[in-house]
Chains A and B, each alone.
Chain A
Amino acid sequence: MTTMDRRSVLQLGTAAAAIGLAGLRPASAQETDVLRIGIAAGRPRHSDPNLTTQGSDNWATEQAYEQLVRPEDGTFAVKPEEYIPTLATSWTMSEDARSWKFKLREGVQFHKGYGEMTSEDVVYSYTRAMKAGTNTTILANIKEVVADGPYGVVMTLKDPDPLFLGTSVFNNNTSIVSKKAAEKMGEAFATDAVGTGPYELAKFDPNAGMFMKRFDKYWGTKAEIANVECLYIADTTARTLALLSGKIDMMEAVRAPGWVDSMLQRDRTLKMDMTAPGSFNTLHINLTRPPFDKLKVRQAIMHAIDRPAVAQALAPMGGVMAGLQPANFPAGFKTEDLPKELQYPYDPEKAKKLLAEAGFPNGISFVALCSKREDYASTMLIVQEQLRLANINMDLKIGDHTAYHADNRSDKNTLAMHSSSYPPIPTQLYFQQLASASEVKSDGNGGGNYSHYGVAMPGIDDLLDKALKATSFQDYEKTCREIELQVLRDLPLIGLSTLSFTVARRGNVDLGYPVKSGYARWRFHRATKTA
Chain B
Amino acid sequence: MTTASIDTFEPVSPAPSRLEIFRQVILARPATLFAAIVILIFVLIALLAPWLAPYNPLAQSFLKINKPPSAANWLGTDQFGRDVLSRMIYGSRNSLILGLLSPALAAVVGTTLGVVAGYFGGIVDRVISRIVDLLISFPELLLAIIIAAALGGGFWNIVVVISAAFVPGFARVARAQTMAVRQEPYVEAAVAVGVSTPVIILRHIIPNIAAPIVVLMTLWTASAIRLEASLSFLGIGTQPPNPSWGNIIRDGLNNLFGSPWPVIGAGFAITCVVLAFNVFGDAVRDILDPETAQ
| A binding-site residues for B, Cβ under 8 Å | 236-237, 240, 244, 254, 256-259, 261-263, 265-266, 309, 312-313, 372, 374, 377-378, 381-382, 384-385, 388, 396-399
Contact = CB atoms under 8 A, between A and B. Distances in A.
A258 B65 contact: yes
B254 A382 contact: no
A378 B250 CA distance: 13
Nearest to A389: B59
Interface in B213-242: 235, 239-241
B66 A262 contact: yes
Interface string B149-183: 00011000000000000000000000000000000
Interface in B42-92: 58-60, 62, 65-66, 79-80
Interface in B178-202: none
A258 B58 contact: no
A258 B240 contact: no
Given A237-B254, A240-B256, 5 more contacts: A254-B254, A259-B258, A262-B255, A313-B62, A381-B80
B152 A258 contact: no
Nearest to A384: B241
B259 interface: yes
Nearest to B236: A399
B33 interface: no
Contacts of A254: 254
Contact of B258 (A262, A377, A384, A388): A262
Interface of B: 58-60, 62, 65-66, 79-80, 152-153, 235, 239-241, 253-259
Given A257-B79, A381-B80, A397 B239 contact: yes
Nearest first, the 5 closest Cβ-Cβ pairs linking A and B are A262-B258, A266-B257, A258-B65, A258-B66, A313-B62
B196 to A, nearest CB: 48
A396 B240 CA distance: 8
26 contacts: A236-B254, A237-B256, A240-B256, A256-B255, A257-B79, A258-B79, A259-B255, A261-B65, A261-B66, A262-B258, A265-B257, A265-B258, A266-B257, A312-B62, A313-B62, A313-B65, A374-B254, A381-B240, A381-B241, A385-B59, A385-B60, A385-B241, A388-B58, A396-B240, A396-B241, A398-B240
Contacts of B235: 372, 398-399
B240 A237 contact: no
A397 B79 contact: no
Contacts of A374: 254
Contacts of B62: 257, 309, 312-313
Nearest to A256: B254
Contacts of A398: 153, 235, 239-240
A357 to B, nearest CB: 27
Contacts of A372: 235
B130 to A, nearest CB: 33
Contact of B254 (A259, A388, A397): A259
A397 B152 CA distance: 8
A237 B253 contact: yes
A263 B65 contact: no
B253 A236 contact: yes
B80 A382 contact: yes
Contacts of B258: 258-259, 261-263, 265-266
A374 B79 CA distance: 11
A256 B253 contact: no
Interface centre among B235, B239, B257, B258 (most CB of A within 10 A): B257
A383 to B, nearest CB: 11
A502 B241 CA distance: 26
Nearest to B259: A262
A381 B241 CA distance: 7
A427 B17 CA distance: 83
Nearest to B256: A237
Interface centre among B58, B60, B254, B256 (most CB of A within 10 A): B254
A486 to B, nearest CB: 32
Contacts of B79: 256-259, 378
Interface centre among A254, A261, A265, A385 (most CB of B within 10 A): A385
Contacts of A261: 65-66, 258
B177 to A, nearest CB: 41
Nearest to A309: B62
Contacts of A384: 241
Nearest to A235: B253
Nearest to A374: B254
Contacts of A399: 152, 235
A370 B153 CA distance: 13
Contacts of B66: 258, 261-262
Contacts of A397: 152-153, 239
B241 to A, nearest CB: 6
B58 A385 contact: yes
Contacts of B80: 257, 313, 378, 381-382, 385
A377 B256 contact: no
A276 B240 CA distance: 30
A380 to B, nearest CB: 9
Nearest to A255: B254
B194 to A, nearest CB: 55
A396 B255 contact: no
A265 B65 CA distance: 14
Nearest to B82: A385
Nearest to B59: A385
A377 to B, nearest CB: 7
A346 to B, nearest CB: 13
Contacts of A381: 80, 240-241
A262 B253 CA distance: 12
B257 A262 contact: yes
A257 B241 CA distance: 15
A316 B256 CA distance: 19
Contacts of A237: 253-254, 256
Contacts of B257: 240, 244, 262-263, 265-266
B263 to A, nearest CB: 10
A183 to B, nearest CB: 43
A353 B149 CA distance: 40
A479 to B, nearest CB: 37
Nearest to A236: B254
B105 to A, nearest CB: 24
Contacts of B59: 385
A112 B152 CA distance: 49
A369 B240 CA distance: 12
Nearest to A395: B239
A170 B27 CA distance: 77
Nearest to B62: A313
A308 to B, nearest CB: 10
A496 B79 CA distance: 19
Nearest to B260: A21
A355 to B, nearest CB: 20
Contacts of B239: 396-398
Contact of A258 (B153, B241, B253, B255): B255
